[in-house]
Amino acid sequence: MGMATLVNVYRKNRRNVLFFCADIVIMAIVLFVTFEVLFSKIAMYSATTSDMLTMVLIKMMSFITIGALLKIHRIDWRYASIHEMKQVSIALLSSDVVLYAYSYSTFGAGLEVMMAVQALLAFNLIIFTRFLARHQIMSILKPQQSPRGKKTLVIGAGNSGQLIVRELKEYRTNVLHVVGILDDDPMLQSLYVHGVPILGSSAELERVVHEQAVEVVILAIPSLTYARRIELLKRIEKTGAESHALPMLSELATGKVSINEIREVKIEELLGREPVQLDISGISKHMEGATVLVTGAGGSIGSELCRQLIKFGPAEMILFGHGENSIYLIEKELRALGTDTVLYPVIGDVQDLERLEHVFQTYKPEIVYHAAAHKHVPLMEDNPLEAVKNNVYGTKNMVDVASKHQVNRFVMVSTDKAVNPTNVMGSTKRIAEMIVQEKARSSDTIFAVVRFGNVLGSRGSVVPLFKEQIVRGGPVTVTDEEMTRYFMTIPEASRLVIQASVLSRGGEIFVLDMGEPVKIMDLAKKMIELSGFTIDQIPIQVTGIRPGEKLYEELLASNELDPEANVFPKIFVGCTRPFTSVSPILRLIEQFRENAGALTDVLLFVANSQDIDSDLRRIFASGLEFIPAENMRMRVVDGN
């Protein structure tokens, strides 16, 4: 073996080579000391230096031989446990047995005390060097970040709990900080596990969470019964703490998941496709140094828009919304990034035209992202006028003020429910699209619309509902076994909006290519399985279609696809069916705003009209008598 090869072997195994050398030195020193202090003081024995060297050599060779068989010098002591200590103990004890056999055959009986003393000294010093080195390595590897992370409580001090505690203490201090453990074994009360105190039993969960200001609770008992598991998860939920759970024992036994996996459903796992990665690298030149306004900035889409936009270095960002707490939270989050962008948290309502005028006059935004809207389908069915006020009039106010103050670009966030709508929410968003597109014809501002599918994880979406139902133990409710939806993630949605603001030339509708639609029933089953349960444990209940729902959604109507529009990778571009003006539509809505039933029919009729100009002329000529849109509602039942 050449010198270069030896050097290479040493570099790869340097730490274990050093341990090997340290072991030899320790055994030599210990044997020498005990030989001088004890062996040579026993008058009945007469020994020489060569005797001592022979004993040292015998112990070293036997330790090295047995250690090689047990591979003790190939142990990674960062992850050592009782098993590894046992291996070292066996090697040392075996070498001591060999040494004692030699000393007994050479000098006879009477050296038992010396053998015991040198064995204990060698064992303690060798183990001490391992853990001293491990401590130094952990000090280097451990993240030195502040703050220490969310205060975390672990339920279960068994093997799984100890693994979790050690892992979090050594590698994830900046994410989760373990402040205590709960365990129902009375023999463990008041003890410590890896330096973390056992604060009581699971019966004291609520008290400990309150006293320790716990933010995260990890259930680390995979052997729990299903009923007990659900009971604890419900109690954790009531405390307000975030809950995580290790997989159940059945999953561990089949090898589906590993012991150190903390189960939490990832949104990307529910898509049924790879997330779309839009190329937004060329956006910086449009955003850097600009003044950007985001309406609905505290909502799911609006807040993610802010997170994405701030990466491009706008000079100023106006966070506009009517929910003071949500605006406060997104402002706090963005400021924590240490950004140079000047942030303006602004409380206001898009229905308040005077407030909008003041905001645009004060901050002079150059790019506007309009994400504020009422979007909950069943709620808007019961409150059609509120949907009109926010989605229609609010959008009208925004486009008028944006055009008046010469905003460069304006992007409105819409929904696939605006295509052939069967509900109030979709109808109002369809009319809002028309408002934006009409203004695009006459304004120097570039106006565009972006249609979303169902955004996974957003407020009011099906995923948070299913999560809540699973934690409660079920049932998970699905309205129809055949219902399908297009899905996208919040980051996909926000990137699409930003991309559209750059690509638009005025008046387009942008839709992300979201692949094939997903059955809601399949989504429910996948969430149950990813949460660590089976369909037998968490049942699915079909509740029937709600008012305003249809079995499937569409991205673009058949006559909306623009064959001459530029086609971008992963993005469809379309335009709405032709119309002259939205003013007659708004006038018609005003005539029926006090009658919720009639207002709903008007919205459905207008939003689904194939020739809105002709239909409006006929309606006004007949003295506002029109055919109710009950035929539109038939789509809810037959899905046509």
Phi-psi region of 113 (alpha: psi -120 to 50; beta: other; left: phi over 0): alpha
SS (H, E, C) 210-238: HHCCCCEEEECCCCCCHHHHHHHHHHHHH
Q: How far apart are CA 143 and CA 165, in angstroms?
A: 16
First to last CA, the chain: 79
Q: What are phi and psi of 376, to 5 degrees?
A: -80, 115
Cβ-count burial of 309 within 10 angstroms (0-12 exposed, 13-18 middle, 19+ buried)? buried
Cα of 179 vs its chain's centroid, Å: 23
- Give the containing element (helix H, strand E) for 200: strand 196-200
Q: How far apart are CA 331 and CA 328, in angstroms?
A: 5
Q: CA of 279: how far to CAs of 49, 54, 412, 502, in Å? A: 78, 73, 20, 12
Q: In what order do the strands lie in the sheet with 409-415?
A: 342-347, 316-321, 291-295, 367-370, 409-415, 446-452, 509-512, 571-574
For 434-493, the three-class secondary structure string (H helix, E strand, C coil) is HHHHHHHHHCCCEEEEEEECEEECCCCCHHHHHHHHHHCCCCEEECCCCCEECEEEHHHH
Interatomic CA distance for residues 424 and 198, integer angstroms: 55
Q: In sequence order, which residues have a C-beta less than 8 Å from that of residue 12 and are 6 or more positions away?
A: none
- Residue 578 DSSP class: P
The Cα 190–Cα 203 span in angstroms is: 15
Host H or E run for residue 509: strand 509-512
Give the H or E element holding residue 413: strand 409-415
Establish whether 417 is a catalytic residue: yes
User: To which H or E segment does residue 583 belong?
Assistant: helix 583-591
* Catalytic residue from among 375, 417, 429, 550: 417
If you count them, how many residues does the chain have? 640
User: Which pairing describes strands 316-321 and 476-478: parallel, antiparallel, or unpaired?
Assistant: unpaired
Tokens linked to 328: 């406060």
Phi, then psi, of 203 in degrees rounded to 5 = -65, -20
* CA–CA distances in Å: residue 350 to residues 63, 154, 446: 80, 46, 20
Catalytic positions, written as ranges: 417
